[in-house]
Chain A
Amino acid sequence: MNWELIFGQLQWTSFVFAGAILDPSLSEFIASGAGSIAVLGAVAVVILLTVKRWWVPLWRDWLTSVDHKKVGIMYMVLALVMFARAVIEAALMRAQQLVAYDSAGFLSADHFGQLFSTHGTIMIFFVAMPFITGLMNYVMPLQIGARDVSFPLLNAISLMLTVAGAILIMISLVVGQFSTGGWTAYPPFTGIEFSPGEGVDYWIWAVSLGSIGSTLTGLNFAVTIYKKRCPGMTLFRMPLFCWTTLCTSILMIFAMAPLTAVTVMLALDRYAGFHFFTNGDGGNMMNYANLFWLFGHPEVYILILPAFGVWSEVVATFSAKRIYGYTSLVYATMCIAVLSFAVWLHHFFTMGQSANVNAIFGIATMVIGVPTGVKVYDWLLTMVGGRIRFSTSMLFLINFLLTFILGGLTGVLLANPGVDFQVHNTLFLVAHFHNMIIPGVLFGMFAAVQFWFPKAFGFRLHEGLGRASFWCFAPGFLLAFFPLYWLGMMGATRRTYMWSDPEYLPWLALAMAGAGLILAGFAFMVTQIVVSVRQRDRLACPLGDPWDGRALEWSIPAPAPEWNFAVLPDVTSRDAFYEAKQSGQAYRSPAAYEDIEVPRNTATAPLIGLFACAWAFGLVWHIWWLVAVSFVLMWAVVIVRSFNMNTVEIIPAARVKAQNEAFLAAARAAPGVPREQEMTSDNRGKALPEALTARAGAVPAGRAVEVLS
């Protein structure tokens, strides 16, 4: 019996638990422990779903849903689950570096290599990307006054491909090893000659699935913004979050392609004996570096732009004021999007090109700092003339302004080839990009969760616990990463599992303390969600506008109904809902209701995701029958779906009317909540607009009452 035909290169020793039996060391036990957590976690989820009888609702209401809101929420859940793994990996690496002064520590070199590779890959492709994609999914259609994205099913397929990639990385915890080539997977190290085995293949297929998902997302969102804006919503009336979503979508369309190409080329090298990036035989890894960063640099702006959009919404809302320099911010965003394609070479100043080339790209990199700097000061000026409320989201914004500008300083330093020659590949570089991504992207997403959670679920998050998490996250970040700048300047290289320089120790200890605080912050965040769910009645804000919001999404109930808008809004200005509240037009009943067509749920997307995951697993382990079968099934699902004519359902106008009129009546009847009671249980989601009540003594006495009635 030829077992290889059935199991490919899988053997019993491929399972992580075999490592602990064959080589009982702490490093192997940690690996087995991680594998056990993955397996036990999966088992626990299965048991929970069975006991609670949630299988059917999970499948019927969520997995098969093509509603952009549910897709968005699923993306965010995926991001949080993957974040839990990657942040624990980060803490493990910190601990290893702390104890590995002139000793091997508790992790083997190989295990450490896998940890930094999975940490980076997961954080970028399966935390940051799902976070921003989920948020754009949820918020953007609501802000442009649309009922869904242009291609709802494609949207669900994007999600399921990303989930498939994430599952593949989770499988690598249990079955086989992951790559040790870092998140950039530079060949020739990741070629078959130097990295035989399944590790790099896990990286290739997980990233490929994610990148295809993101390409489809980019296309979908760009088209949605071009075609699905509600009447009157000109581009320059869109909230800034929509602008940043548009720019990110365009970047996704153009930047994901080089990544997909380069992973496929690396796969051809590894599977089919090609020589794109091998040593010798005409291969050249410099092509990989160029292609990868042609994706990789726009990628950082793909991540940061939606966060910039979040900051714009948060700062205007919690300053109760118009955004300063809207047009300026739009142009700055566009400048960043375009310039992001012109700076990729700064990731390898050290590859030996001429000083002129280095200088040009260095200056281009500095130039991209200009629009970014402008945006930072635009947000500061937005607060000028406002009435600032220090909510959790706003605390994250303040922290962002201060730390991000320091990251900008070190970014400009790194843009100098001469400086880069010294600190490239050191912890200075690690500190810099964490300095941009954590306070910028990650905390931006945390702020967004605090901000839009009530819209998605109908109740606010517990404010006290949110603040507690902020006060762990913000100092935790500073402690964890600012010492790394100094370590990098002392010459500490990245991806190093042991040290011989005693001078590093105090700084590594500080960084470890920071990692501990970040873990505590995450614990508070999880606690916050659990506590908020338990206290959801007290925190409920069904009337939909808990923060005195400005854009259209706050004009509808919370949670948002399946059809988003009972009647598509007609917009005449920026900050449409803010203006409506100012002029007393908010919560008015529409003249007439019509039937609403919504896409029917379908099993297409989860099936495609399932078969894509099986296909990729087959490729990783060379199980060729599985590759063939799952590939055929994947396309069979597509073909079957294309014959299905029954893809939409009609929601009768009467049902829409009943639900919407009940909401409007409740909203009109409810007293507006002044901002000082924003965080109390009085806040049911009907805001007493700050701009009406607090306008420096100029508010006519009767006006506020009029709005309330």
Chain B
Amino acid sequence: MKLILGVLGAGIPGIAHARGFLDPAGPIASAQLTHFGVISALMLLVVVPMFIALPIVLLRYRRAGKGTYRPDWEFSWGLETLIWGVPVALIVILGSALWKHTIENDPYRPLGPDPLVVEVVALDWKFLFLYPEQGVATLDLLTLPEGRPVTLKLTSGTVMQSFIVPRLAGQIYAMAGMQTQLNLLADETGEFTGRNTQYNGLGFAQQSFVTRVVSPQDFDSWVASTKAQGQGIDFAGYQALLEPSVIDQPVLYGSVSPGLFDQVIASFAPDMVAGQGHAHMPAPPATAPAALPAAGASPTPHHHTPEAVQ
């Protein structure tokens, strides 16, 4: 089905370069496209009969048609079983496929050991990406290594937004004072568009960013060159970003104050951060170790609900 959609895409002018999930660049988007095809194909079981039967019925039972007029005919157990039975059976199949796909491709499920953690803060009309492990940050540029699982942790510094890089994975909401997760993996290099899909004001249409997938070596050298940037970001720098703006060129930060992501969440929900009754602390201590699970540390618990940082 993926193939069919691909061929269809190639056959229509202007489609070959579509940047949606029609052209997946990772296993999640690929599975989503396949699932799309499977469900569509199965649904044809109820769609096609209508397209075949309706013209026949209209032709046969029009006033000049050959069909026998039976004005009082109103029921048939055989047909009744068919029109209830087929959809019910189909739903069993579709439902199983849905269940399997939903559980297997849960955005909270890490796609392998040692994921690269990137923290995403949705802002008006730009995204701030924090790389806690690497100690760098960017504005509107998501650089990822090819072939390595990625865990995105998302929150918002403003209204609710919806984060998506269609060629890699589906979307998830980013909400202030809360954290959501999106796991993805890129299996080819290139530049993919990502964006916010939830309307958030005047700059919404321009709120897109570049996702640059590079080889692991290039990723390391990118980190190194970014670190060489003089400019860093801390909570005060973050607060300056709260002013709504559209970013023309990505911005690189060579250093990040530790725990910034948690501070962002804490700025909306102080009671919930680092819990345990430190209700009056404006933010966790800058070195809060629990807040920044280092790569390779004990596996991140499989948390659901958009939770506050524990």
Contact between chains at B50 and A401 (CB < 8 Å)? yes
Please choose the segment from A409-417, A607-615, A640-648 that sits at the chain B interface, where 4 or more of its residues have CB less than 8 A away: A409-417
Is B171 positioned at the interface, with any CB of A under 8 Å from its CB? yes
Contact between chains at A385 and B87 (CB < 8 Å)? no
Quick one: which of A245-295 are within 8 Å of B by CB?
279-280, 284-286
CB neighbours of A420 from chain B (8 A): 170
Q: How far is the CA of A402 from the CA of B50 in the complex (A)?
A: 7
CB distance from B168 to the nearest CB of A (A): 11
Q: How far is the CA of A285 from the CA of B161 in the complex (A)?
A: 12
CB-nearest residue of chain B to A502: B14
CB neighbours of B99 from chain A (8 A): 359, 363
Contact between chains at A188 and B102 (CB < 8 Å)? no
Contact between chains at A351 and B268 (CB < 8 Å)? no
CB distance from A96 to the nearest CB of B (A): 11
Q: How far is the CA of A420 from the CA of B102 in the complex (A)?
A: 11
Is A39 positioned at the interface, with any CB of B under 8 Å from its CB? no
CB neighbours of B57 from chain A (8 A): 380, 383-384
Contact between chains at B54 and A398 (CB < 8 Å)? yes
Is A690 positioned at the interface, with any CB of B under 8 Å from its CB? yes
Contact between chains at A352 and B170 (CB < 8 Å)? no
Is B68 positioned at the interface, with any CB of A under 8 Å from its CB? yes
Contact between chains at A321 and B15 (CB < 8 Å)? no
CB neighbours of A324 from chain B (8 A): 73-75
CB neighbours of B61 from chain A (8 A): 319, 383-388
CB-nearest residue of chain A to B72: A322
Known: A353-B305, A409-B43. A418 touches B102 (CB 8 A): yes
For A422, give its contact among B21, B94, B195, B204 (CB under 8 Å). Answer: B21
Contact between chains at B80 and A328 (CB < 8 Å)? yes
For A373, give its contact among B22, B46, B98, B304 (CB under 8 Å). Answer: B46
CB distance from A539 to the nearest CB of B (A): 22
Contact pattern, A 347-387, Cβ under 8 Å of B = 1, otherwise 0: 01011111111110011001101100110111011011111
Contact between chains at A426 and B197 (CB < 8 Å)? yes
CB neighbours of A387 from chain B (8 A): 61-63, 69
CB-nearest residue of chain B to A404: B50
Contact pattern, B 173-214, Cβ under 8 Å of A = 1, otherwise 0: 101111011000000000001010111111111101000000
Question: What number of A-B contacts does a CB cutoff of 8 Å give?
Answer: 294
Contact between chains at B108 and A350 (CB < 8 Å)? no
Is B53 positioned at the interface, with any CB of A under 8 Å from its CB? yes
Is A676 positioned at the interface, with any CB of B under 8 Å from its CB? yes
Contact pattern, B 103-130, Cβ under 8 Å of A = 1, otherwise 0: 1011111000000000000000000000
Is B309 positioned at the interface, with any CB of A under 8 Å from its CB? no
Is A229 positioned at the interface, with any CB of B under 8 Å from its CB? no
Is B1 positioned at the interface, with any CB of A under 8 Å from its CB? no
Contact between chains at A418 and B269 (CB < 8 Å)? no
Contact between chains at B74 and A489 (CB < 8 Å)? no
> Taking each of B21, B84, B195, B199, which has the highest tally of chain A beta carbons within 10 Å of its own beta carbon?
B199
Is A482 positioned at the interface, with any CB of B under 8 Å from its CB? no
Is A425 positioned at the interface, with any CB of B under 8 Å from its CB? yes
Q: How far is the CA of A510 from the CA of B194 in the complex (A)?
A: 26
Contact between chains at B69 and A386 (CB < 8 Å)? yes
For A385, give its contact among B71, B198, B305 (CB under 8 Å). Answer: B71
For A321, give its contact among B17, B70, B175 (CB under 8 Å). Answer: B70
Is B279 positioned at the interface, with any CB of A under 8 Å from its CB? no
Q: How far is the CA of A355 from the CA of B182 in the complex (A)?
A: 12
Is A679 positioned at the interface, with any CB of B under 8 Å from its CB? no
For B, the interface residue count at a CB cutoff of 8 angstroms equals: 96
CB neighbours of A367 from chain B (8 A): 91, 95
> Taking each of B22, B70, B159, which has the highest tally of chain A beta carbons within 10 Å of its own beta carbon?
B159
CB neighbours of B72 from chain A (8 A): 321-322, 691
CB-nearest residue of chain A to B75: A325
Q: How far is the CA of A402 from the CA of B71 in the complex (A)?
A: 24
Is B292 positioned at the interface, with any CB of A under 8 Å from its CB? no
For B58, give its contact among A355, A373, A398, A501 (CB under 8 Å). Answer: A398
Contact between chains at B74 and A325 (CB < 8 Å)? yes
CB-nearest residue of chain A to B33: A422
Contact between chains at B200 and A189 (CB < 8 Å)? yes
CB-nearest residue of chain A to B244: A194
> Taking each of A381, A401, A500, which has the highest tally of chain B beta carbons within 10 Å of its own beta carbon?
A381
CB distance from A599 to the nearest CB of B (A): 38
Contact between chains at A362 and B74 (CB < 8 Å)? no
CB distance from A548 to the nearest CB of B (A): 11
Is B32 positioned at the interface, with any CB of A under 8 Å from its CB? yes
Q: How far is the CA of A370 from the CA of B87 in the complex (A)?
A: 6
**Given A189-B160, A322-B71, 19 further pairs, Cβ under 8 A:** A181-B199, A328-B84, A352-B306, A354-B305, A367-B91, A370-B87, A378-B83, A385-B67, A385-B68, A386-B69, A388-B62, A409-B43, A412-B94, A413-B43, A417-B98, A418-B101, A491-B19, A499-B205, A503-B14
Q: What would be 13 A-B contacts, judged by CB atoms less than 8 Å apart?
A: A194-B158, A321-B69, A352-B306, A358-B102, A377-B83, A378-B83, A380-B53, A381-B79, A381-B83, A386-B61, A389-B63, A490-B22, A494-B199
Residues of B within 8 A of A (CB): 13-15, 17-22, 29, 31-32, 35-36, 39-40, 43-44, 46-47, 50-51, 53-54, 57-58, 61-63, 65, 67-76, 79-80, 83-84, 87-88, 91, 94-95, 97-99, 101-103, 105-109, 158-160, 162, 164, 166, 169-173, 175-178, 180-181, 193, 195, 197-206, 208, 267-269, 304-306
